[in-house]
Chains A and B, each alone.
Chain A
């Protein structure tokens, strides 16, 4: 039973990593939102499996929270933003796709090496996944750096936060409930603020490309 659970969580971790790579290469906005939702689903499943194995009700709660927040609410807000602001068009990447993916592979190797000494201490069913989670964090970071559009930077940020929650669930059977609630609240408020923010930019400037804003070169 335990062995099977480990296999499933490892599989989910691999799926998470694949989705991160897919996000790196995806240029269409709606597809990015779908990938983000899929990531949320993988996170929910991982929480459920770990909750089943450890018989910890708090992981079920965490799964429910993730389902409401990251599979339903946040994708819905993003979808509405994209539709209202009519950001359907392609996302220009500052780096071409093959170069992005190659750099991504290097990042994964780095992440595995950094996490190696820690992974052997992870006590729970999913000890091998910490490296994958760190790799996802780095890939999301890279997505934020290489994308020009505000909303794809936000999706990068959200996917980084997903990876962190995966790390928390896999390595430690979840953070204390108050912390998870607090982090979830912060993320939700952050997204709402960004929505307001993007509408303000749109009403003022008519485009959402970060590069077109005045660039100050002095630091």
Chain B
């Protein structure tokens, strides 16, 4: 019973926040209200995680929702980054408003849609119904599409349009995949009806699902949700959407939405693996992951916009994770989960600092941002540290996860390891050089109207550092339990 109340709080708080901010979104109190609701959501999410780890997986509200170590991991991460981003956005959006890029109605839109977006992601993570998962993924796109174009520039409109159409087409493929799964389930005796799309039912009946239908369904689901993960060649929307929207939105799109989409892919993979027993889903993930890493790395070289640089780096990292989960096995899955956590934290911290840097310089172009370390040591060093963390320099945690991914690649797919290593080296060289340009040299900067919030940036980087030095026993057990869920 208590579990039900906690799930209701996790989902209800963002909804309540969205409703109240739709009314009060333009007032001075709105950012604090948003942060307060996000903090409450985080509290509920942590409570849910603690209970699930203590009492094991289970259903909530009949069979409508379910919790297991894998989805509560992402629920906790989503709620945490949702809260820190709300903290970051307070001074950031005030500065944007003072500079005339936001006005009262745009602020209201921003504040009402932000918690709605978080709600859609939490719903996608907690639901037990593949159809509702689809609806929630589409709702997450719809909640952010107007925010991507909120500055009303030509590039912003183009980005929002691409985001809507490309993700819409992608997710339509996922719907076809879902229909095929439903077809497969309704052929199992007693499997039809309104419960046929429940993930738990599909997983328990997966051995008797028809392999032909399931393999076709998995291809459609992978293409559909893979579009939202940003896998090459369906990644066209991602750099534009991340670069043109307000920075808090870039941070949650990159840090959270991509993870939630990958979550959907992985649930489908667990299901398909049990029905097929031929390793096809894993091989597909390895292929898409590898191509994403290579193409994103090549695209990094040509980027001149700081936020586009970060978004191509996101494609690269999502490719790494997809690759790791495709390789499978306890070590690679552990590494993939660790990488999911670290990428969400470090990449959003980087977006925070680059957002403030762009405000200081008055431009997002890498050539326009110079000498950050001299004019504002906090922003400058946070950016340099964040870049080193995302590039996998020890002692940051990304080093550990990338090292594990590479070693498991050497065992399972020896030919892929050199490709990945080369891609990592190129990414290191390119991003390090760009960040060095922005961090050092002669300064071009203007004063920020509002003091940046430092807690989000340094909290994220500190956790990434800690995870690189030492993974506590309970977290290790959590990742292993989540990995066991994925193994089926």
Interface residues of A (CB under 8 A from B): 114, 117-118, 121-123, 134, 137, 141, 144, 150, 153, 157, 160-161, 164, 167-168, 171-173, 175-179, 182-183, 185-186, 189-190, 193-194, 196-197, 200-201, 204-205, 210, 213-214, 216, 218-219
A141-B173 Cα distance, complex, nearest whole Å: 10
Whether B160 sits at the interface, judged by CB under 8 Å, is yes
Which residue in chain B gives the minimum CB-CB distance to A213? B158
Which of B176, B194, B302 is close to A177, meaning CB atoms less than 8 Å apart?
Answer: B194
* Chief secondary structure at chain A's binding surface: helix
Chosen A-B contacts, 11 in total, with CB atoms closer than 8 Å, are A121-B210, A121-B212, A164-B175, A172-B186, A175-B131, A176-B129, A177-B194, A178-B131, A196-B146, A204-B154, A218-B308
A214 with B172: CB separation less than 8 A: no
Whole-angstrom CA separation of A214 from B176 in the bound complex: 33
Given pairs A157-B169, A197-B164, A213-B157, 11 additional interface contacts (CB within 8 A):
A117-B212, A121-B213, A137-B172, A161-B175, A172-B186, A179-B134, A193-B164, A194-B164, A213-B161, A218-B239, A219-B239
Q: What separation, in Å, do the CA atoms of A218 and B308 have in the docked complex?
A: 10
A141 & B169 in contact (Cβ 8 Å cutoff): yes
Alpha-carbon separation in the docked complex, A179 to B195 (Å): 11
Q: Contacts A118-B212, A183-B175 given: A214-B158 contact, CB under 8 Å? A: yes
Contact in complex: B213, A118 (CB < 8 Å): yes
Closest to A120 in B: B212
| Known contacts A183-B175, A213-B157, A218 near B302 by CB under 8 Å | yes
CB distance from B275 to the nearest CB of A (A): 14
B138 at the interface (CB under 8 A from A): yes
Inter-chain contact B145/A197, CB cutoff 8 Å: yes
Bound Cα distance from A218 to B236, whole angstroms:
10
Chain A residues contacting B142 (CB-CB under 8 Å) are: 186, 189-190, 193
Bound state CA distance, A205 and B131, in angstroms?
38
A189 contact set on B, CB distance < 8 A: 139, 142
Check if B299 is an interface residue, CB within 8 A of chain A: yes
Given known pairs A193-B145, A200-B152, the reply for A175 and B216 (CB within 8 Å) is no
CB-contact partner of A164 in B129, B172, B183, B194, under 8 A:
B172
**CA gap between A146 and B114 in the complex, in Å:** 34
Residue B135 CB within 8 A of the other chain? yes
B180 at the interface (CB under 8 A from A): yes
Contact of B138 among A150, A186, A218 (CB under 8 A): A186
Residues of A within 8 A of B134 (CB): 179, 182-183
Question: Are A137 and B155 in contact, CB atoms less than 8 angstroms apart?
Answer: no
Asked if B165 CB lies within 8 Å of chain A CBs, one says yes
Q: Give the tally of cross-chain contacts (CB within 8 A).
A: 138
* Other-chain residue from A137, A196, A200, A210 in contact with B176 (beta carbon distance below 8 A): A137
In the complex the two chains form, is B179's CB within 8 Å of A176's CB?
Answer: no
Cβ proximity bits B265-298 to A, threshold 8 Å, 1 near / 0 not: 0000000000000000000000000000000000
B117 at the interface (CB under 8 A from A): no
Query: Cβ of A175 and Cβ of B182 under 8 Å apart?
Result: yes
Question: Is B149's CB under 8 angstroms from A197's CB?
Answer: yes
Neighbouring A residues of B239 by C-beta, 8 Å: 218-219
CA distance A178 to B134 in the complex (A): 12
Bound-complex Cα distance A175 to B194 (A):
8
Q: Quick one: given A175-B131, A193-B146, are A121 and B187 in contact (CB under 8 Å)?
A: yes
Interface of chain B, helix or strand or loop or mixed? helix
Least CB distance from B176 to A in Å reads 6
Given A118-B216, A190-B142, decide whether A175 and B158 contact each other with a Cβ distance below 8 A.
no
How many whole Å from B175's CB to the nearest CB in chain A?
5
Complex CA gap A108/B107 in Å reads 47
A20 to B186, CA, bound (A): 29
Would A182 and B131 be within 8 Å (CB), given that A118-B213, A172-B186, A177-B194 are in contact?
A: yes
Question: How many residues of B are in contact with the other chain, CB < 8 A?
Answer: 51
The answer for the CA separation of A214 and B152 in the assembled complex, in Å, is 13
A182 to B175, CA, bound (A): 12
B44 beta carbon closer than 8 Å to chain A: no
Q: Say yes or no: A219-B131 contact (C-beta < 8 A), given A157-B165, A167-B179, A179-B197.
A: no
B200 in the interface (beta carbon within 8 A): no
B192 to chain A, nearest CB (A): 8
B168 within 8 A of A: yes
A176 touches B158 (CB 8 A): no
Given contacts A164-B179, A168-B182, is CB(A176)–CB(B152) below 8 Å? no
Nearest-CB distance from B307 to chain A (Å)?
Answer: 13
| Min C-beta distance of B363 to chain A, whole Å | 16
Q: Bound complex: CA of A157 vs CA of B167, how far in Å?
A: 11
A148 and B216 CA atoms in complex are apart in Å by 31
CB distance from B74 to the nearest CB of A (A): 21
Residues of B within 8 A of A118 (CB): 180, 183, 212-213, 216
Contacts of A134 in B (CB 8 A): 176
In the complex, which residues of chain B have a beta carbon less than 8 angstroms from the beta carbon of A144? Answer: 165, 169
Q: Give Cα A182–Cα B299 distance, bound, in whole angstroms.
A: 37
Min CB distance A114 to B, Å, is 7
A172 to B183, CA, bound (A): 5
A216 B157 Cβ-Cβ under 8 A: no
A residues within 8 A CB of B139?
A: 186, 189
Residues of A within 8 A of B193 (CB): 176
Q: Which residues of the partner chain B approach A175 to less than 8 Å between Cβ atoms? A: 131, 178-179, 182, 197
CA gap between A182 and B129 in the complex, in Å: 12
Contact A216 B145 (CB under 8 A): no
A70-B187 Cα distance, complex, nearest whole Å: 30
What 1/0 mask marks residues of chain B from 184 to 202 whose CB sits below 8 Å from any chain A CB? 1011000001111100000
Does B303 belong to the interface (CB within 8 Å)?
A: yes
B36 at interface, CB cutoff 8 A: no
B132 at the A/B interface (Cβ < 8 Å)? yes
Complexed CA–CA distance, A172 and B210 (Å): 15
Q: Which residues of chain B have C-beta atoms less than 8 A from A114's C-beta?
A: 216
How far is the CB of B328 from the nearest CB of chain A, in Å?
Answer: 26
Q: Which residues of B contact A214 (CB under 8 A)?
A: 154-155, 158
Which B residues are CB-close (under 8 A) to A210? Answer: 158, 161
B460 at the interface (CB under 8 A from A): no
